Amino acid sequence: MNRRLHTPLALAVLTLLHERSMHPYEMQQLMRERGHDQVIKLKGGSLYSTIDRLAEAGLIEPQETTRAGRRPERTVYALTDAGRDDLLLWLRELLSEPVHEYPLFGAALAFLAALPADEVPTLLEWRAAMLEAQIAASESMLRSMENAGLPRLFGVESEYMNAMRRAEVDWVRAIANDIRSDRLRWPPEVLQHHEQIKKKEESV
């Protein structure tokens, strides 16, 4: 497997072409319809550059170029045998082997002490509220997919994201409560440092 090619967008392209041959515009439309843009950063330019890289690597190949009326030419791509083998091996690996992904929120938590303790609970509550809004939007999208007759299989990644968001909401609110109730404390030297910063700001 060529690890440099292994991006979420490449995974989406290979999987869609595993279903059938199609042109990039159709891929983009299907990704949006199925909610793939909830877990994949989807931009037209990055999609075409990903397709070019996969074609150069021999994982996909142009099949035909069509034109409808005055619209630009559209190249239909197909999955090669090498692309199919790479996709299936990659998917099996992704599903079976946990990978540490270095989330930004985890990094922020690691350096929580840089903020005053009385400020953090409010910030965490804002985060929880935003997560709940994301859950509501995602659930609405899943209902729309269901009403449109799309199989549940095409929305399981959104179900997963919502499960992770709900767990995060519960954890974030619990931590905020622990800080407010003094069950999670800033060390005395950190509190002293924040007090010194506050005095400097007030004297300016």
120 and 86 housed in the same domain: no
Whether 26 and 85 map to the same domain: the answer is yes
89 and 112 in a single domain? The answer is no
**Are 41 and 131 in a shared domain?**
no
Residue 4 has pLDDT above 80, yes or no: no
Structural domain boundaries enclosing 78: 3-96
pTM of the model: 0.79
Q: Are residues 167 and 133 in the same domain?
A: yes
> HSE-up of 64 (CA within 13 Å, CB side)?
4
SS3 1: coil
Q: Would you place residue 33 in the very low, low, confident or very high pLDDT band (cuts 50, 70, 90)? A: confident
pLDDT for the residue 187: 92
Domain co-membership, 187 together with 149: yes
Residue 120, token pair as written in the block: 């953090």
Domain closes at, from 96, 117, 135:
96
